[in-house]
Structure 1
């Protein structure tokens, strides 16, 4: 049965870095502690917010933080998980007990690409089912499906790039971190029906409008979609300022209005009602503001087909390293200048 109006929470929580852990065992122990803390905060938030809380989005690095000096092999061995890991079983059981949908982001192992990992977002529903997994498509230093595109397409198919889950909370999709800055990703998800973008992020929470802040509102407006954006409440255990990524988790509605926004530090303030019925009514009207209905994709298709910037399959016949990412981007910049 559909729930047309419910509360969502962008949980702002401190992330604990595994970078200084000496081995996989100690890193995994810290991940377990991080998950216990996040689930306890989620449980407490629901007790305070009330039974209408049905959807919780976690920050980008809630289990591990990010590679900070580790090479790809080191990070894969230390900090990456598969979705059949016991930590996912814990989250699934929790979602059933709390009757919530839970979304977050982690570094994922894939047996089809044993030398790589992907940065993946997920949604677990209130029945304890993993109903969506989205792999980040644009990253500075992490592997993406685009880097192994031909092989990835053979295994998973094109539609796997843009998953949308049709649920009783509406049509849900994930956007990872800085991908909010790439309008094509949100647009491709909207094409497939997405109504709510679940945005796990770890970013500067500035009182000024940052690039990501502008983008969250823009993606909401131009796709007539909700954005539930969870930022971290600082990252500890890593050698940069703790609060460099802290604050301003928020919920934006389909007209670009900020419905709720946290300050800094651990917070459940970024919670608000999402009214899917009202959104669908808004999308159904003939108006200047119905940007979805007024899109003319054929005008753009030829340009996207004929112009290539960052090349696909960049890992083909190359060892994936940070230096390779830099080398590839430098080549793209040079080509764009010619």
Structure 2
């Protein structure tokens, strides 16, 4: 297994259109996207409920790895272990979130090693370098059973939910501190593996972010959602950036508590670099979709996207986000309703 992480080099984007890679372990790779349930953990029973969700995820890994041949990458959605609930406060989330590394990554890593696969999944997580922060992360486990990389979510939408805001910390929320700690290169991390250059995101409807990963040399864009995503958004990202893309959404989920069983379930799919559908879930139930990717042939002669930022860079430089970055560097609201109160007079667009 050969891995190369972005190193924080001064050159974020190669001037000649090339991008860094590591040698491939095989010419053609197989990707499976697993559409699975999302069951929110009860904070008072966090240990046992996370264990139940993890055990189910391990069963699905077994199914994915053994159905119709070996898989090089097995991709899950945002929250297979913790689930999601708008009812959690920060104390609850600190119980629900996993440690990375921790018992969950150890168990999933053992499966990755057993099947010689990369396993990619999202989770709420904690980090000792960020006390009291709840991170929404995507974790990449390697075929040696170890953590290859951990990607933070880039941003949450703000000001769009009635009386409620998401309280997880994203790159945008602590941007200056994040860059100081990890470097500017880490804002758009691309993990360069022997099955291709992997980028991940759980952000929808912001094509500039997908383009950012493409400029960094992403070849496989692993996208995750909970409660659906727009196929046009995902397909256009694949086409405009000439890269393979998977979108994993949740299945129908028989959840306890005040949640519908079906909240925009289904739609998990894998798209080719022209936006073509390679495979798509044909139901809202738990299932896997699969595609073979001719990575060696795809990579041959490929360059980063041809764009002309001189025409619009000044527009972007003058653009002001509705809400400024770094708003969680000092303030950590206790819950989504308190966060909405905190943000109600912070918009620059009012």
1:66 has 2:84 as partner: yes
Question: What is the 5 A alignment of 1:26-41?
Answer: 26-41=45-60
Any idea what SS the aligned residue of 1:180 has? coil
Any idea what SS the aligned residue of 1:181 has? coil
1:311 has 2:328 as partner: no
Aligned-pair Cα RMSD in Å: 2.1
Residue number among 304, 309, 314 corresponding to 1:297 in the alignment: 309
Measure how far apart 1:281 and its partner are. Answer: 4.4
- 1:12 and 1:231 in contact (8 A); partners too: yes
Tell me the residue number matched to 1:188: 212
Residue number among 296, 302, 314 corresponding to 1:283 in the alignment: 302
Which whole-Å CA distance do the structure 2 matches of 1:113 and 1:40 have between them? 32
Tell me the residue number matched to 1:215: 233
Which whole-Å CA distance do the structure 1 matches of 2:344 and 2:246 have between them? 34
Unaligned 5+ segments in structure 1 are 205-210, 285-291
Any idea what SS the aligned residue of 2:80 has? coil
Measure how far apart 1:329 and its partner are. Answer: 5.8
Question: What is the 5 A alignment of 1:146-185?
Answer: 146-176=172-202, 179-185=203-209
Tell me the residue number matched to 2:28: 5
Measure how far apart 1:180 and its partner are. Answer: 2.9
Measure how far apart 1:55 and its partner are. Answer: 0.8
1:198 has 2:241 as partner: no
Any idea what SS the aligned residue of 1:134 has? strand
Q: Report the TM-score, using the length of structure 1 for normalisation.
A: 0.86
Unaligned 5+ segments in structure 2 are 1-23, 158-165
Tell me the residue number matched to 2:98: 81
Q: Aligned pair count?
A: 314
Measure how far apart 1:111 and its partner are. Answer: 1.6
1:98 has 2:111 as partner: no
